[in-house]
Structure 1
């Protein structure tokens, strides 16, 4: 059983049959709509008894300002 925490998949539960193998370490969710595409990445944290939690990865601030540079 896999649980998603955060982002657009928050609260989703996936029952994964063993025949599908091990879950991926990272899952990418792409949301397409009328505006720009929105990408969320979920990282797996494995728990006991074949369970795991996918937690949304914090988005990197693409417009971060380098504070070490003087104006």
Structure 2
């Protein structure tokens, strides 16, 4: 095996003069996420739009010689394409929807 695609694969490839064809280099739809508090304080992440919307809650687990330490961050949208993950304080859990009967 030479590592080169066979002739049947080469025939399917489309050639173009536009070097950017098929690649989206635009960051317009990417999300800029800032973490506040806890071990991730100050971290900035850019979530590519292809991954979808940011998660409403992020869990960070720190493993070390002692017990594992878990921190949860809740999403707070700021503007289109920018949001902050705030450290959830111990004991603060999202409110359960009481309007639905058990």
Segments of structure 2 that go 5 or more residues without pairing to the other structure are 1-31, 92-102
| 3-state SS in 1 of match to 2:47 | coil
Segments of structure 1 that go 5 or more residues without pairing to the other structure are 61-71
Give distance in 2, aligned partners of 1:30 and 1:2.
19
How many pairs does the alignment contain? 60
TM-score between the two structures when normalised by the length of structure 1: 0.82
TM-score between the two structures when normalised by the length of structure 2: 0.58
RCO comparison, higher one (Cα < 8 Å, 6+): 1
Computing the radius of gyration over CA atoms, which structure comes out larger, 1 or 2?
Answer: 2
